[in-house]
Amino acid sequence: MHEVAKRPSAYVLTMAKERPKREEYYLNIAKQVAERATCFRNKGGAIIVKDDVIVATGYIGAPRKTKDCFERGYCLRDKLKISHGRYYEICRSCHAEQNCIINSARAGVSLLGGDMYIYHRDREGKEMDSFPCFICKKMIINAGLKRVICSTKEKGMKIFNVEDWVKEWQEKDILDDEYQYGRDLNIKEKLKDDLS
């Protein structure tokens, strides 16, 4: 006799015929992917879906075979008290979105026309606005993705058309973009002296 191991269900079905909507279903998978992340700061996961098939996954993680935050026992960005969205060049990890795009290159899969689902939660487990940072946004545009579906605070979701980001940046500037990771940064304010 052996017991069947219990596992938490990501989506509780109340009726047999009830199914999660497609976007919910994929975001829940991104949420599971996020649990593999290797940083103390937050857990982030991303998946890319093409024609209703998951073609790539990625989570916040250091380059393969290098030491991640868990192995070192601390996050360098924490230690240096760096706020969200700043000085990514000294982050040990590739972002979930980046690893997702990178992994599809490893597998030789084109991402053209695909949708990316992104999930992030903070160190306490609270869900965050999973809007990608500017570096990831630029990569998403160049990878040819069509839509980006982000989990938001309070278990919500926000869907972006990548085309709209491009249009927005054509008309205004990257700095006017209001949906960014760590949007409390007020980048424009901080760069005021440099910009004038």
Tell me the window of 21-29, 95-103, 121-129, 188-196 that interacts with Zn ion (CB under 5 A): 95-103
Site string for Zn ion, 70-89 (x = CB under 5 A): -----x--------------
| Residue 109 near residue 56 (C-beta atoms within 8 A) | yes
Nearest distance, CB of residue 95 and Zn ion, angstroms: 3
Q: Which two tokens stand for residue 11?
A: 């989506």
The only residue of 31, 50, 95, 120 in contact with Zn ion, by rule CB under 5 A: 95
* Euclidean distance between CA atoms 37 and 45, whole angstroms: 7
CB nearer to Zn ion: pick between 56 and 136: 136
Answer yes or no whether residue 49 interacts with Zn ion by CB under 5 A.
Answer: no
Q: What residues contact residue 139 under an 8 Å CB cut-off, 6+ apart?
A: 97, 98, 101
Which of the residues 117 through 156 are near Zn ion (CB under 5 A)? 133, 136
Please, which of residues 6-45 interact with Zn ion by CB under 5 A?
A: 39
- Cross-strand partners of 156: 152
To Zn ion, the closest distance from the beta carbon of 58 in angstroms equals 11
Of 31 and 95, nearer to Zn ion (C-beta) is: 95
Nearest Cα neighbor of 77 from 123, 119, 109, 120 is 123
Q: Which residues would be at the binding site for Zn ion (CB under 5 A)?
A: 39, 69, 75, 95, 133, 136
